[in-house]
């Protein structure tokens, strides 16, 4: 019985699927998106926490806010420096970062993260 052909075909299919990323991207170097800051955000200089923290932990902060607001009715968030903020995605975050498409979506899309914030929350209308 000669099944070498079938086995080779199987291997080719397996590796074609396995190496999918290499040919899907056409070997093109991709550009990494940077969140764009609005003028207001630039002017404010600092967010509720430092930039590095916000880059990696913002979702956890928002999650904590949601819990305190919804479950305990606590609307006030005090950051490390003792400064107080209203714990609100729409009113606090989106106040500075009113450009959802360029600030939130760019990176979220890049890493295929599709948070369900906007299922409930509104975001400022953006001018094209």
Partner 1 sequence: MNVGYLYSLLAVIVLGLIAYAGVEAAGLQWLFGILIPYLGLTIFIAGFVYRVMDWAKSAVPFRIPTTCGQQKSLPWFTPNRIDNPATTLGVIVRMFFEILLFRSLFRNTRVEIRGERLSYKWVIWLWLFALMFHYSFLIVVIRHLRFFLEPVPWVITLLEKADGVLQVGLPILYISGVTLLLGATLLLLRRVLIPRINYISLAADYFPLLLIIGIAITGIMMRYFTKVDVLKVKELTMGLATFHPAIPEGGISGLFYVHLFFVSILLAYIPFSKLMHMGGVFLSPTRNLANNNRRIRHINPWNHPVKVHTYEEYEDEFREKMIEAGLPVEKE
Which of 52/81 has CB closer to partner 1? 52
DSSP 28-39: PPPPPP-PPPPH
* Cβ neighbour number for residue 95 with a 10 Å cutoff: 15
Which of 27/82 has CB closer to partner 1? 27
Closest approach, Cβ 125 to partner 1, in A, equals: 25
Interacting residues toward partner 1 by CB under 8 A: 1-4, 7-8, 10-11, 15, 18-22, 24-30, 32-33, 52, 55-57, 59-60, 62-63, 107, 109-116
């Amino acid at each position: 019985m000669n099944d070498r052909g079938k086995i080779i075909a199987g291997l080719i299919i397996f590796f074609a699927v396995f190496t999918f990323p290499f040919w899907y991207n056409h070997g093109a170097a991709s550009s990494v998106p940077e969140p764009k800051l609005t003028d207001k955000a630039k002017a404010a200089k600092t967010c509720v926490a430092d930039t590095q923290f916000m880059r990696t932990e913002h979702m956890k902060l928002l999650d904590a806010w949601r819990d305190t607001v919804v479950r305990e009715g606590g609307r006030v968030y005090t950051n490390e420096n003792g400064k107080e903020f209203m714990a609100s995605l729409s009113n606090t975050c989106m106040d500075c970062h009113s450009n959802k498409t360029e600030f939130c979506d760019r990176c979220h899309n890049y890493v295929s993260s599709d948070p369900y914030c906007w299922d409930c929350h509104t975001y400022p209308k953006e001018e094209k």
